[in-house]
Amino acid sequence: MANYPETERRLHAREFVLKEATIIAGAVRIGCSVRNQHEQGAELRVAADTEIPERFLLEVPADDMTYRALVRWRRNDRI
């Protein structure tokens, strides 16, 4: 396998954004920010000690959308 930079190995191009969003899990609402997004997902920033369920709704007012979300990875304050 060739040694390509991380961005070249990704299946979908990522677009840097900075959008306010809300994680909705039942009656719980957690503020977060969307840092990048692409056709199949997004990177979110949350407080590092915040417990986020594996599945939740993500409300993004700037997109006028609420997305169904599944956590694929976690690292400190990023999911």
User: What residue segments make up the domains of the chain, in order of their start?
Assistant: 12-70
pTM: 0.80
Write phi, then psi, for 27 (nearest 5 degrees): -85, -5
Q: Tell me how far apart the alpha carbons of residues 66 and 73 are, in angstroms, rounded to a whole number.
A: 20
Tell me: the pLDDT tens digits for 1-31? 444 455 455 566 778 999 999 999 999 999 9
Tell me: the pLDDT tens digits for 27-71? 999 999 999 998 889 999 999 889 999 999 999 999 999 999 999
Instruction: Name the 3-class secondary structure at 25.
Output: strand
Contacts of 68 (CB under 8 A, 6+ apart): 55, 57, 58
